[in-house]
């Protein structure tokens, strides 16, 4: 590889560009490399695909009731109480009328001021509660972003190998991708599609050793996201089986519906 290209890849600018954590001058430099070198363009496309995989796995829909709650809260706060006064035909002296008006104005002002203070206290409490909720959301989002970054870096590690499970005649629609890094000893599974099974059966992931099979856990069809699985050193192959739920730790030779060979790829 060209030394200039090697230094560019080692700088990490391409990863920062994909994640939009880069300055304007660095962004221009990256775009020039993408336009000039096909190797950089291919790696850029790969990074975008990996980021899309993780983004879909972490996507969370906002609750539908949020807008209704906000509109209802606004309606409640904009209602103004109306005080109805009964008119009287009795004649009062100007002094009595003035005194009555002053008293009513004072009482009305006091009442309105009191109501405004109560409303202000309620609004302040709402603001305080919302601030705490926002802080909690920010912490959760920061944690998700941190997990996203970790998974993104694992996927784009040069030592990470990609393996695609494809189902046999018993599960033609099955498709699952495994990402394995033998240097860092990490394994991740991306469940793309798993055909629906009867209630009494389940999918299991196995690692094939020289003398035995090691159970790596259940694959849930509803968990369509990138997830970590145990790494098994010196495993020859990984296989997905269908078996009864009451016998999770047992398997047979004919129960495998998809398999990837790890030994051949490591020897190449």
Give the closest residue to 232 by CA, choosing from 251, 213, 255, 248: 213
Domain that holds residue 8: 3-58
Q: Judge whether 134 lies within some domain.
A: yes
Residue of 245 and 78 predicted with greater confidence = 245
Q: Does 145 lie in the same domain as 169?
A: no
pTM of the model: 0.50
CATH number (domain holding residue 207): 2.60.40
Q: Which of 17, 2, 23 has the alpha carbon at shortest distance from 48?
A: 17
Examine residue 184 and state whether it is found in any structural domain, yes or no. yes
Distance from C-alpha of 42 to C-alpha of 48, rounded to nearest angstrom: 10
Tell me: do 171 and 149 sit in the same domain: no
> CB burial class (10 A; 0-12, 13-18, 19+) of residue 186?
middle
Distance in angstroms (rounded) separating the CA atoms of residues 60 and 241:
30
Model confidence pLDDT, tens digit, residues 59-91: 555 555 555 665 566 555 555 554 444 444 444
Segment 101-140, tens digit of pLDDT: 666 666 666 667 677 777 777 777 777 777 767 777 777 7
Q: Give the number of domains in the chain.
A: 3
């Amino acid at each position: 590889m060209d030394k200039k290209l090697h230094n560019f890849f080692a700088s990490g600018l391409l990863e920062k560009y994909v994640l939009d954590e880069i300055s304007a001058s660095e962004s221009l430099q990256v775009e020039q490399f993408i336009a000039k070198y096909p190797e950089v363009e291919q790696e850029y496309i790969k990074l975008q695909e990996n980021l899309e995989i993780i983004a879909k796995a972490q996507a969370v829909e906002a609750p539908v009731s949020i807008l209704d709650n906000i509109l209802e809260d606004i309606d409640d706060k904009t209602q103004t109480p109306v005080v109805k006064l009964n008119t009287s035909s009795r004649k009062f002296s100007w002094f009595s009328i003035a005194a009555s008006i002053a008293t009513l104005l004072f009482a009305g002002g006091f009442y309105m001021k009191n109501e405004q203070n109560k409303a202000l206290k309620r609004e302040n409490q709402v603001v305080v509660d919302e601030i705490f909720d926002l802080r909690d959301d920010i912490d959760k989002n920061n944690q998700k972003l941190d997990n996203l970054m970790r998974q993104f870096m694992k996927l784009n590690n040069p030592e990470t190998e990609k393996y695609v499970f494809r189902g046999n005649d018993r599960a033609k629609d099955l498709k699952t991708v495994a990402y394995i890094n033998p240097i860092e000893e990490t394994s991740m599974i991306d469940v793309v599609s798993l055909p629906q099974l009867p209630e009494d059966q389940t999918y299991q992931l196995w690692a094939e050793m020289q003398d035995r099979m090691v159970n790596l856990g259940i694959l849930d069809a509803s968990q369509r996201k990138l997830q970590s699985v145990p790494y098994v050193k010196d495993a020859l192959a990984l296989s997905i089986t269908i078996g009864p739920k009451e016998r999770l730790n047992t398997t047979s030779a004919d129960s495998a519906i998809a398999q990837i060979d790890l030994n051949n790829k490591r020897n190449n």
